[in-house]
Amino acid sequence: MRLKVRKEQLTPLLLRLGIAIVFMYAAISSVMHPDQWVGYLPPFIAKMHDAVNLLKAFAIFEILLSVWLLIGKFVRYAALLAALMFFGIILAQPSDLVITFRDIGLVFMALALAASA
């Protein structure tokens, strides 16, 4: 059986897959190796809550958002939420631009997906 994807469906599909993979990887990695991720939490949040449990809760949210994107229903809302999350990461860590600069591209990927939905 051959899977047929029309040309106009390919770009949104690739954007959905790309963004979902980013969230899924971050979620799985942060649960498996919290010591490597805890440093990326904004200090004011890490001081208020148990950092590892906060990472776990955020990972669940990221997995749910990934699944939502992969399912492909109400994509505009999922993409806008993804854009807000990436933008929030940038705002929460302004001194880590050497790492978060990638999130700027991801914000625009998510906005492009929202615009195409």
18 in a domain, yes or no? Answer: yes
pLDDT, one tens digit for every residue, the chain (117 residues): 677 778 788 999 999 999 999 999 999 999 999 999 988 888 778 777 788 999 999 999 999 999 999 999 999 999 999 999 999 999 988 888 888 899 999 999 999 999 998
- Asked whether 16 and 72 are in contact (CB, 8 A), the reply is yes
d(CA 14, CA 71): 13
2 in a domain, yes or no? Answer: no
- Supply the pLDDT for residue 61: 97
- Structurally, the chain folds into a number of domains equal to 1
- Supply the pLDDT for residue 1: 61
85 in a domain, yes or no? Answer: yes
72 in a domain, yes or no? Answer: yes
Could you say which DSSP state residue 5 is in? -
Q: Where are the alpha helices (DSSP H) in 1-117?
A: 7-32, 34-37, 43-48, 51-71, 75-92, 97-116
The residue range of the domain holding 102 is: 11-116
57 in a domain, yes or no? Answer: yes
46 in a domain, yes or no? Answer: yes
d(CA 48, CA 5): 47
- Residue 5 neighbours by CB under 8 Å, 6+ apart: 13
- Asked whether 58 and 94 are in contact (CB, 8 A), the reply is no
4 in a domain, yes or no? Answer: no
